[in-house]
Structure 1
Amino acid sequence: MTTTPYRFGLSRAAAATLAALALLLAPTGQATAADPALPLGDADLAETRTSQTLADGVTLTRIGRGTEPAPADQINTTTRGPWVVNLLTIDPRRTRGHLAATYGPDLARTERTTDLVRTSGALAGVDASFFTFTASAQYPGDPVGLGLYGGRLLSEPTGDPAEADFVVDARSNRAVMGKLSWSGSVQNRQTAASLPLEFLNHPPVVPAACATLTDQTECSEPGDVVRFTPEFAEATPSGAGVEVVLDRRGCVVRTSTSRGTTLTDGQTSLQATGRDTAALLEVAGQGCLRIASALTDEQGEKLAVRPGLFGVNGRYRLTADGQIVVPPGSGSFFARNPRTIAGTTRDGRIVLATIDGRMTSSVGTTMDETAAVAHALGLRDAVNLDGGGSTTMSVEGALVNRPSGTAERPVGDALVFIDGAYHASGN
């Protein structure tokens, strides 16, 4: 843990932007009656709030609660703070821009939030989905849950009951939250033979009992069936199994008894491991396939995946219909950490928030404290996005908050606000 300021290799323009933000967001006054104090720590803590308008209908607010640095050994227990919270508020009734989700050169790689904001031409943004993350992973940016970008479903929601998804329509800036479910299948158009899909753009696992088999069709253990698109990576995952490449019509272009290939524009592929390899080969044949994919909400209603729809995954709802709903829990995830929040107010405003943590200058929040903050900010519905070392807010490619690591962590994707109308050909 460090208590010294971070220094990053920012461009001169980004550094100037950051300096301007620091000046504009310097604490200048106490919270007013219109802004109730955050329910963090002792009631007598001083709290300051400052705001600036970034664009029509878009404001950036900085909240500081508590003034004295925390003792390093009391970060997880102190009731004196301090806490630093940054809020990006978007009013759909007044803005000319739109909220979207974006990732780097491909889905499997990671990029810094500041870079994602800059390269997407966004005004501001925050880190978003939980992702594979580990430095040793071949595909560290692979989302662990929902990944929906401009109406293209590139990663399916998991069966984990803790997953909570944030979906926004960029054409209206209307956002909804909840646990989505997914089902997929592949069917031969001529024979009607079908096979369930298990994943979208996730490396399949070879069953441990068949790990030494070069020919996976000899395996008697169930494996995985996965659909890959060109957005995943430069090449599909390699290894034992089978792969069937399809053209844009869904017709078989080639079949291989090992996995790993480069997809051209318009192509997709199906990979299988374990005994599912034989099933895929039987279904695919040399024909044309129909791919079915459906997202449903908690009420079982189908969510139409259309241009302009973006979605990212989080872990746990914080509020629902104005009530705190975060479940009880223990362990490091529920302890004090940096946090990233996405939510909506009763009148439809979208709020993206970061809470710095794991530092003497801002101690972070537990899951209970995070939910209490979301509720106090007036978020009728809110989701806990990826946090910890990923928690980052950027304006015009410059850091607004202070990440907890020694450098800004590359992430899988980001929620970004672009100050212009949405066009289906891009953000």
Structure 2
Amino acid sequence: MIFYTSSVPKLRRFGAVAAVAAVVTGLGFAPVAHAAPSGATLPLGDAGLAESRSSQTLTRGVTLTRIVRGTDPAPADQINTTTRGPWVVNVLTIDPTATRGHLAATYGPDLAKVEKTTDLVRSAGALAGVNASFFTFTASAQYPGDPVGLGVFGGKLLSEPTGDPAEANLVVDARSNKVLVGQLRWTGTVQNTRTKVTLPLDFINHPPVVPAGCDGLAQPTQCTLPGDVVRFTPEFAEATPSGAGVEVVLDARGCVVRTSTTRGTTLSQGQTSLQATGRDSVAMLAVAKGCVKQTDALLDETGKKLRLHAGSFGVNGRYRLLAGGRIAVPAGSDSFFARNPRTIAGTTADGKIVLATIDGRMTTSVGTTMDETAAVAAALGLFDAINLDGGGSTAMSVEGSLVNQPSGGAERAVGDALVFVDSRFTGR
């Protein structure tokens, strides 16, 4: 699976997600011990390479810096090996103590569609932004924007963490611009309020898997193979996924509105649905009678439940770059760890938020390995940082214009974006 292309389906959650990658640490804001000195050059390529920097203030508390290291274009056959670069890095720095604006995450018309980062920034009325989460992309022609991991928008958990040890998450409080970085866990259940019969919830807003051999049965309840239980919200798409299985539509109180032995329906505002496949179809019919209680918890690495509110936003990445000021990238040798375009998000020791893009796969900017990406994050003074979706997805938009150069020659449509809006967050 090559995560930087975003071309993988959502990974299954492994039980209670007890295993946590050793490369990530707890969420927190402890002081940094290894911040890079102000004005340090990027630790890329040969020592003594020419490096230029230009900065501009976009608005109060927000600056955009462009760094170019190396001067001569790389030979096309040496992009992955050259020590001469060049590298082009764009860095957006937000100072919460000085800005009047806020950071948020946004997606397009619905969660399952894709939009260009520039369009997401514009539609959000934002000043600037970068692409964010890994998303289904080509693995699903119908739902390409489906996040592969955490997705929190305006306090709503619309996609759960995968449980993959490689997943790293960034959660922002738009009211204070405080950021948490780490690996989150999630648990969910569905319980009948009268009988107390309980069923585990596997996913949120992700098409369930129909076990092979079950989709041709006359009745979905005849399937004896394991399936999925998924909650859908109106934000997912114009209609919920169709196919074999069972679907129960609930009103805002959690009471059953209608039940169907096939999947696929349109949800009204305030409604949710529960889809089940495989042998979970039988269990769903038993649980979803009368009213049900849906319980889920988003947990940090200490097991503490995160309290979401209207100003809560969260996205997913792959691998922690820095944890507590120290390099946290594991060893790896596949194409994901090789030189590619990269998007970085993180915070400095004093709470500044940094969003950065590194152009790659071009003779004018060769990109960075995962190790080089972590080194760049450290050189930018970050304390905690994650690797967001990259490759052809890497994009930074400022004031309605793309400021980096996508590797594919044109901007790719993506699942969501982190955006800076130049006004105070007014939601509750």
Q: Flag whether TM exceeds 0.5 (same fold).
A: yes
Q: Does 1:351 align with 2:354?
A: yes
Match of 1:256 in 2: 260
Tell me the CA shift for residue 34 of structure 1.
3.4
- Is 1:188–2:189 an aligned residue pair? no
The residue identity in structure 1 corresponding to 2:298 is L
Return the alpha-carbon distance in structure 1 between the equivalents of residues 274 and 139 of structure 2.
Answer: 27
Q: Which residue of 2 aligns with 1:328?
A: 331
Q: Give the corresponding residue for 1:220.
A: 224
Q: Report the TM-score, using the length of structure 2 for normalisation.
A: 0.91
- 1:152 and 1:305 in contact (8 A); partners too: yes
Does 1:275 pair with 2:284? no
Partner residue in 2 for 1:403: 406
Using the alignment, how far apart are the partners of 2:153 and 2:219 within structure 1? 36
Any unmatched runs of 5+ in structure 1?
Answer: 1-32
For 2:109, the equivalent position in structure 1 comes to 105
* 1:185/1:100 CA distance change after superposition, 3 Å: same
Are 1:422 and 2:400 an aligned pair? no
Q: Which residue of 2 aligns with 1:39?
A: 43
Q: 196, 210, 214: which one pairs with 1:206? A: 210
SS at match of 2:408: coil
Q: 2-side partners of 1:122 and 1:187: how far apart?
A: 40
Structure 2: which amino acid aligns with 1:123?
L
Letter in 2 for 1:96: R
Match of 2:300 among 292, 297, 300: 297
TM-fit CA distance, 1:136: 5.2
| Partner SS for 2:137 | coil
CA contact (8 A) 2:215 2:243 kept: no
Alpha-carbon distance between aligned partners in 2 of 1:423 and 1:211, rounded to the nearest angstrom: 47
The answer for the alignment partner of 1:381 in structure 2 is 384
Identify the residue that residue 5 of structure 1 maps to in structure 2. none
Tell me by how many angstroms 1:215 deviates.
1.6
Aligned length: 393
Given that 1:89 and 1:351 are in contact with CA atoms closer than 8 Å, whether structure 2 keeps it comes out as yes
Query: Cα offset for 1:406?
Result: 2.8
Q: Cα 1:35–1:383, aligned 2, differ >3 Å: closer, same or farther?
A: same
2:188 maps to a residue whose letter is G
Q: Percent identity?
A: 76
- Given the alignment of the two structures, is residue 128 of structure 1 paired with residue 132 of structure 2, yes or no? yes
Within a 5 Å distance, the mapping from 1:35-114 to structure 2 comes to: 35-114=39-118
1:174 to 1:136, Cα distance in 2 relative to 1, 3 A: closer
Cα deviation per residue 1:388-408 (whole Å; 9 max; x = unaligned)?
A: 000000012210100111311
Contact 2:135 2:414 in 1 (8 A): yes
Are the aligned partners of 1:214 and 1:240 in contact in 2 as well (CA < 8 Å)?
no
In structure 2, the residue matched to 1:341 is 344
Post-superposition offset of 1:209: 3.6
- Following the alignment from structure 1 to structure 2, what is the Cα–Cα distance between the partners of residues 311 and 46? 37
Q: Is the 8 A contact 1:42 1:79 kept in 2?
A: yes
Q: Could you say what secondary structure the match of 1:303 adopts?
A: coil
Post-superposition Cα deviations, 1:107-131, rounded to whole Å, max 9, x if no partner, equal: 0000000000001100000000000
- 2:132–2:388 Cα contact (<8 Å) kept: yes
| Equivalent in the alignment of 1:14 | none
Q: CA deviation at 1:293?
A: 1.1
Compared CA separation, residues 404 and 214, structure 1 to 2 (3 A):
farther
Q: Distance in 2 between matches of 1:135 and 1:304?
A: 32
| Aligned residues: CA RMSD | 1.2
Name the structure 2 match of 1:166: 170
Partner Cα distance (2:91, 2:266) in 1: 42
> What residue is the counterpart of 1:22 in the other structure?
none
- CA deviation string 1:267-319 (max 9, x = no partner): 1100000000000000012x111110100111111111222010000000000
Q: Is this contact kept in 1: 2:101–2:420, CA < 8 A?
A: yes
Which letter does structure 2 place at the counterpart of 1:43?
Answer: A
1:261, 1:235 → 2: CA distance?
A: 5
- What is the CA-CA distance between 1:212 and the residue it aligns to? 2.3
The superposition leaves residues 171-206 of structure 1 with CA deviations (integer Å, 9 ceiling, x where unpaired) of 000001000000011111111111110000000000
Structure 1 136/189 Cα, relative in aligned 2: closer, same or farther at 3 Å? Answer: closer
Runs of 4+ in 1 over 3 A off after TM superposition: none
Q: Out of 225, 245, 262, which is 1:241 matched to? A: 245
Question: The residue matched to 1:134 in structure 2 has which SS?
Answer: helix
Over residues 324-368 of structure 1, what are the superposed CA-to-partner deviations in whole Å (9 max), with x where a residue is unaligned?
010000111000000000010000000000000000000000000
Alignment equivalent of 1:370, drawn from 341, 356, 373: 373
Distance in 2 (CA, whole Å) between partners of 1:274 and 1:397 is: 47
Is the contact between residue 228 and residue 278 of structure 2 (CA under 8 Å) also seen in structure 1? Answer: yes
